[in-house]
Amino acid sequence: MSAAVMADVAAARVPERTWRSEARAARAVWRRDMIRFANDRAQLMMWLVQPLLFLFVLGSGLQSLSAASTDGVDLKTFIFPGVVCVAVFFTAMISAASLVWDRELGFLKEMMIAPVSRTSIIVGKCVGGATIAASQGVIVLALAGLVDVPYDPLLILVAFGLLVLLAFTVSAFGVLVAVTIKQAQTFTWVMQLVVFPMVFLSGALYPVAGLPGWLELLNRVNPLTYAVDPMRHLVFSHLDVSETARRTLDPGVTWLGWHLPPLFEVGMVLLLGLTMLGLAIRRFARTE
Amino acid sequence: MTSTLPPTIEVDDLVKSYGEVDAVRGVSFAVAPGEVFGFLGPNGAGKSTTINMLCTLAEPTSGAARVSGFDVVSRRDDVRRQIGLVFQDPTLDVRLTAEQNLWFHAELYDIDPGVIPARIDQLLEMVGLADRREQAVMTFSGGMKRRLEIARGLLHSPRVLFLDEPTIGLDPQTRSSIWRYIRALQETEGTTIFMTTHYMDEAEFCDRIAIMDRGEIVVLDTPEALKAAVGADRVVLGTADDDAALVALRDRFGIEATVAEGAVTFHVSNGERFVPRLFAELDVGITSVAVSRPTLDDVFMRHTGTTIRDAETGGVADLDRTMMRTMAGAKR
């Protein structure tokens, strides 16, 4: 049976490598992650439920405590930009780190042995993680109206741009972690020791002015701070709140008294993302 | 297999060391186009390390290898475009369907989208998975996964297909069907096949076999020639006292027998005629006797002094096996 079947099949040809074939390979890596994501019900559920937990459960729960100090601003409104960032952060981290599982379960070998550059694999993986994370951010963004953040087209557009940038940078970080660690188990530790602290130190859930010295220091060395701050600034610039509330809740990040412009922070995040992508590519190219 | 064409695989004094351990100690051979070439040997003999160097996954410590005329180190990407691979451990994405796994591979190898559907259809047909194409690979049995990996390895029409223990852990039925595909493939597409196995009976499907042990090729020839070189029949005895039987065989018949897989084993020409003499003259109780024509097992035993199975019982590590052999030798 097989002989007859195979006789009339056109043989395939593997062409020389071009930038187009590299782009196609990266797209294939990306598309695989999309298919896997769409098939994974548990991850989809987490993806939908987690931001709601943060926003409505945590936000509503702490509201009663903070009502006095937020000067009329609902705590949910305050943490909204932070929750957008945290949601993107977690999802990008977990998605990009799926490379760890690809190694553990053997599939990485299929990619490593193909006649494609390692860069294409890393780029595809990074864009894949960023896509999933950014769409998570969009879901949270869509809830804006429920926490009294206006659906201003400009606000939505710029916020989208910011969350895409954050999604990319965190994905690059996740991929870098994934190519560095050798065991899937280690990743659990990275989540506990790096990712969770970063969220709590970022100012996503509290204002970053007037912190105790040690906390301020940790906050300022935390890259996530510089993604949360512009996002919060953006949201607050579209809110109708008192000057006192603005000063307390959206104080902006300072370095030794210098107030960082949001655009500068955005540049930092971008630069960080590109650096980590570069490191991940270099590191991955050296794995045997 | 004689051919005027340049060899598809040429290996010249290839060495691979991991620190102090020499996994491969200078092997040289050539594989002709369209040949089915087998690497035979126990676990830890250096088969997989050799295959990894040939398919560019590991860099040789010294020596050179060319696949399809391309050097495996300096022309790595050219080599990769020419080869298909089926690894010992599965490398499928079990959360994708069979078809999605194949599409991913086709895209990665930049195959003309016009030929992909037909190629996928026919390969799935060939390995008998056409009706399972839309099911997630995690629902597949071990044999189905292996068949899918073979189909995937062939998707881009490689000049050489490397199979590292393609049938390990599979039931005999699946093993024989996998062999059918491999032979059909070699006939229709002229693919050169390089495989490793430690199943002796499978080595018979190869055009030529290299027997590898402790990082070296101990012998290389066609299965027929290898068996002919052993010449003698194999006699396996169950005895009441193996040690006494070994001594008696040596003293009375001048035969050096060994205990392999728990039975006294030796080679003698005209085995059937020898057995009656044995019963008449051996003063050790005989509980069973079997005479067989030489097989590749005998070839292996002849060249390494042990059976493949015994060579493996000491564990995978080279050192362990050497120790086992020394101890076995001392007992003799």
Nearest to A14 among B58, B110, B180 (CB): B110
- The nearest CA of chain A is from the CA of B106 a distance in Å of 9
Q: State the pTM of this model.
A: 0.83
pLDDT for residue B296: 79
Q: Is the pLDDT of residue B130 over 60?
A: yes
Structural domain contains residue A4: no
A6 to B185: CB separation less than 8 angstroms, yes or no: yes
Q: Which two tokens stand for residue A38?
A: 């769409």
The answer to which of B22-36, B93-107, B163-177 has the lowest mean pLDDT is B163-177
Residue B176 at interface with chain A, using a CB cutoff of 8 Å: no
Domain contains A12: no
**Amino acid found at A43:** Q
Helical ranges in chain A per DSSP H: 2-7, 19-39, 41-52, 59-66, 75-96, 98-104, 107-112, 118-142, 153-180, 184-190, 196-201, 213-221, 225-236, 243-249, 262-285
DSSP per-residue letters across B88-107: SS----TTSBHHHHHHHHHH
Say which amino acid occupies A60.
S
Establish if A9 belongs to a structural domain. Answer: no
Contact B187/A at CB under 8 A: yes
| CA dist., res. A5 & res. B127, Å (int) | 11
Mean pLDDT over residues A131-138, rounded? 94
CB contact under 8 A, A32 and B100: yes
Per-residue pLDDT, A288:
63
Q: Worst-scoring range by mean pLDDT, A76-90, A111-125, A239-253, B295-309?
A: B295-309
d(CA A250, CA B150): 60
Kindly list the residues from chain A whose CB atom is less than 8 angstroms away from the CB atom of residue B116: 12
B193-207, B211-225, B315-329: least confidently modelled range: B315-329
Is residue A10 in a domain? no
Q: Tell me the chain B residues in contact with residue A106 when contact means C-beta distances shorter than 8 Å.
A: 87, 89-92
CB contact under 8 A, B80 and A115: yes
Is A14's CB within 8 Å of B188's CB? no
pLDDT of residue B312: 67
Give the model confidence (pLDDT) of A74-132 as tens digits.
888 999 999 999 999 999 998 888 899 999 888 999 999 999 999 999 999 999 999 99
What is the arithmetic mean of pLDDT over B45-52?
89
Chain A residues with CB-CB distance to B80 below 8 A = 113-115
Instruction: Give the CA distances from residue B26 to residues B196, B313, B316, in Å, rounded to whole numbers and listed in that order.
Output: 18, 26, 20
* Average model confidence (pLDDT) across chain B: 84
Q: How far is B158 from chain A (nearest CA, A)?
A: 8
Alpha helices in B127-171 (DSSP H): 142-154
Instruction: Say how many domains are in chain A.
Output: 1
Q: Which domain holds residue A194?
A: 21-62+69-285
Number of C-beta neighbours around residue B224 at 10 A: 9
Cross-chain residue pair B184–A6, CB shorter than 8 Å: yes
Report ipTM for this prediction: 0.88
Q: Is residue A91 part of a domain?
A: yes
What class, spelled out in words, does domain B9-226 have in CATH? alpha beta
Please determine, for residue A52, whether its predicted confidence score (pLDDT) is greater than 60.
Answer: yes
| Encoded amino acid at A192, one letter | Q
The residues spanned by each domain of chain B are 9-226, 227-331
Q: Which residue of B has its CA nearest to A2?
A: B126
* B98 vs B244, higher pLDDT: B98
Q: Are the C-beta atoms of residues B50 and B57 closer than 8 Å to each other?
A: no
- Domain assignment present for A3: no
> Confidence band (pLDDT; 50, 70, 90) for B313?
low
User: Residue B3 pLDDT more than 60?
Assistant: no
Residues of A in contact with B56 (CB under 8 A): 113
Write out chain A residues lying below 8 Å of B125, CB-based: 2, 5
Q: Name the class of domain B227-331.
A: alpha beta
Query: Of B321 and A174, which is predicted with more confidence?
Result: A174
Q: Is residue A199 part of a domain?
A: yes
Q: Does B122 touch chain A (CB under 8 A)?
A: yes
- In a domain, residue A243? The reply is yes
Mean pLDDT (chain A) is 89
